[in-house]
Amino acid sequence: MTVTLLPYHQDERLPGASFPLSGLDVVAVTPELPGGDVWQRVAALFAPVVDEVARQIDGGSMPRVVSGDCLTAEAVLAGVQKAGVDASVVWFDAHGDVHTVDSSTSGYIGGMPLRQILGADTALLPDRLGLRTLPEDRAVLVDARDLDPAEAEFLASSQVKRCPVGDVELPPGPLLLHIDVDVIDAAELPGLKFPVGEGPSRDAVVASVHRIMATGRVAALDVACPWHPPRDGDDAIRARLLKDLLTA
Ligand SMILES: NC(=[NH2+])NCCC[C@H](N)C(=O)O
């Protein structure tokens, strides 16, 4: 089993210490970054991820990708599609990630990927990656509980299903399983960039991921780690979590 590591948060390179993956077979993707705006730079960063995911699926394996943000899921989905697999999306996240460029009040681009997968702002990233966008009923959002008003409004009138980790209603077909680790209650996972409380326990999230993997329908797994560089004690918790998620 190989883990594909993209050690970036958006276009910012992160230190190796941010990804405690020892004991796992890791291949890091570290392309040269071109100039341009953040979307152009991220698209360049993601191009080899698209190819690597497609190559692994063509070779008969299930890609497991780890990075510092949720945007990477767009590259993983594009790679799955490039391999000829028409996947639905299961999105574990404390946040909705359904902003458009216009609706985002923070401007944080990591708050937009699920909405781009569903067809918003496609010129910025999906088109550059060759990503075919999905209808809303092919996406399920799991345990999102920190929604900005524009996100709540969008979700209220969309066909995106929402469910808790303990009762995930899977969409049809093969799956891209995206896990933003911040779906876990922030009290159990230190150092998150966007900590949210009142969430499921770490063990409940891991158990849910294992149940979904056991269906045999997961075409690719994408784990996003939007956390700060580790402080004392963080490493052990993070390493154990990544191992439990990636070896499911
Ligand atoms: N997957 C995440 N951590 N997303 C954070 C998004 C935070 C907030 N909703 C924003 O768009 O600024």
Q: In this predicted model, what pLDDT tens digit does every residue of 73-88 receive, in sequence order?
A: 999 999 999 999 999 9
Task: Tell me the average pLDDT of the chain.
Answer: 97
Both tokens of 184, joined, read: 């876990």
What is this model's ipTM? 0.97
Whether residue 43 has pLDDT greater than 90: yes
Atom of ligand 1 nearest to the CA of 93: 1
CB-ligand 1 contact for 150 (6 Å cutoff): no
Q: SS3 string of 45-111?
A: HHHHHHHHHHHHHHCCCCCEEEECCCCHHHHHHHHHHHCCCCCEEEEECCECCCCCCCCCCCCCHHH
**CA-to-CA dists, residue 178 to 12, 66, 115, 157, 202, angstroms:** 21, 10, 14, 23, 16
Both tokens of 79, joined, read: 């790679």
Atom of ligand 1 nearest to the CA of 104: 11
Q: Which residue has the tokens 């997961």?
A: 218
CB-ligand 1 contact for 52 (6 Å cutoff): no
Q: How far is the CA of 194 from the centre of ligand 1 (A)?
A: 7
Q: How far is the CA of 68 from the centre of ligand 1 (A)?
A: 13
As a whole number of angstroms, the distance between CA 158 and CA 213 comes to: 27
**CA-to-CA dists, residue 196 to 38, 59, 78, 177, 222, angstroms:** 26, 38, 29, 21, 20
All domains of the chain in start order, with CATH:
2-246 (3.40.800.10)
CB-ligand 1 contact for 68 (6 Å cutoff): no
CB-ligand 1 contact for 22 (6 Å cutoff): no
As a whole number of angstroms, the distance between CA 140 and CA 184 comes to: 17
Ligand 1, atom 6: closest residue by C-alpha: 111
DSSP conformation letters of 133-165? P--GGGEEEES--B--HHHHHHHHTS--EEE-G
Q: Which amino acid is at 55?
A: R
Atom of ligand 1 nearest to the CA of 148: 9
Q: Over pLDDT 70: what percentage of the chain?
A: 100
pLDDT of residue 248: 85
Task: For 138-186, write each residue's pLDDT tens digit.
Answer: 999 999 999 999 999 999 999 999 999 999 999 999 999 999 999 999 9
CB-ligand 1 contact for 113 (6 Å cutoff): no
Q: Over pLDDT 90: what percentage of the chain?
A: 98
- The confidence band for 9, taking pLDDT boundaries of 50, 70 and 90, is very high
pLDDT of residue 32: 87
pLDDT of residue 131: 98
Q: How far is the CA of 226 from the centre of ligand 1 (A)?
A: 10
For the chain, the distance separating the N- and C-terminal CA atoms, rounded to the nearest angstrom, is 11
As a whole number of angstroms, the distance between CA 71 and CA 39 comes to: 10
Query: Residues 107-122: what's their mean pLDDT?
Result: 98
Query: Residues 19-43: what's their mean pLDDT?
Result: 95
For the stretch 4-20, what's the b/e string if a residue is b when 16 or more beta carbons lie within 10 angstroms of its beta carbon?
Answer: bbbbbbbbeebeeebbb
Task: For 201-221, write each residue's pLDDT tens digit.
Answer: 999 999 999 999 999 999 999
Ligand 1, atom 11: closest residue by C-alpha: 111
